[in-house]
Amino acid sequence: MRELQRQMASLLYDRLAKSKDKKSLMRLATHGQEVMQPLDVLKDPVVIEFLDLPESPKLVESRLEQALIENLQNFLLELGKGFAFVSRQERITIDGDHFYIDLVFYHTVLKCYVLIDLKVGKLTHGDLGQIQLYVNYYDRERRTEGDNPTLGVILCPDKNDAVVKYTLGEQQERNIFTSRYQLHLPTEKELERELRRELRQLSMDDVPLKAAARKTRPRA
């Protein structure tokens, strides 16, 4: 019951619905969360108020990671069904250079690895390049027969959606995703601000579609 109340307070339904079309939204309303494609497992934002971490410029990634490991059960509940924890700070070596992936999961429904990179500052294009490196490596070196392509997720407190769009291109909807995290449950003002942001994004996405429609419209 306590987890149900928490998910209601964190607007779980709204966060799951953001990445779905109208038909998927109706299925969500009648059948609950259905995982059929990578976008179905993404929440934005990810609410991790159970960590009891203060919002501070002094917060470092190692402390955030440690807090998530110490509250792994709650984190798995927040991520949603299908996530199984594999490892933390997993080292990969490429031509003598060592890199460390913050968190590695396996998704039992999508049948693929999910690599999570944690950031405590605003997302940069360099961060996106880093997760691309990890995903490409896993696909070539760790993926085995029966596994689907690896997914990469960056959790960050802030991001520029336009930078994400132009850096990732088609990868944004295929195998690399970004999501904000919140260290507290959203307030009414924050929910209103998030709604306005989503409406602006939808308006921006509609512009190319409307332009294409005008170009293809037959002349009288």
CA 125, 129, 132, 134 dihedral sign is negative
CB–CB of 44/38 below 8 Å?
A: no
Strands 97-107 and 112-118: antiparallel
CB–CB of 107/114 below 8 Å?
A: yes
What's the CA gap between 63 and 76, in Å, rounded?
Answer: 18
Burial bucket for residue 8 (CB in 10 Å: 0-12, 13-18, 19+): exposed
Confidence of residue 102 (pLDDT cuts 50, 70, 90): very high
pLDDT of residue 170: 78
Count of the separate structural domains present in the chain: 1
CATH label of the domain that carries residue 51 = 3.40.1350.10
The domain of 49 spans 2-216
Length, in residues, of the chain: 220
pTM of the model: 0.74
Please state the φ and ψ torsions of residue 71, each to the nearest 5 degrees: -120, 40
What's the CA gap between 190 and 15, in Å, rounded?
Answer: 13
| pLDDT tens-digit series, residues 15-70 | 555 555 545 544 544 445 566 677 777 887 888 988 989 888 889 999 999 999 99
CA 167, 168, 172, 178 dihedral sign is negative
CB–CB of 81/110 below 8 Å?
A: no
| pLDDT tens-digit series, residues 190-203 | 767 777 776 776 67
CB–CB of 49/68 below 8 Å?
A: no
Partners of 116 in beta bridges: 103, 153
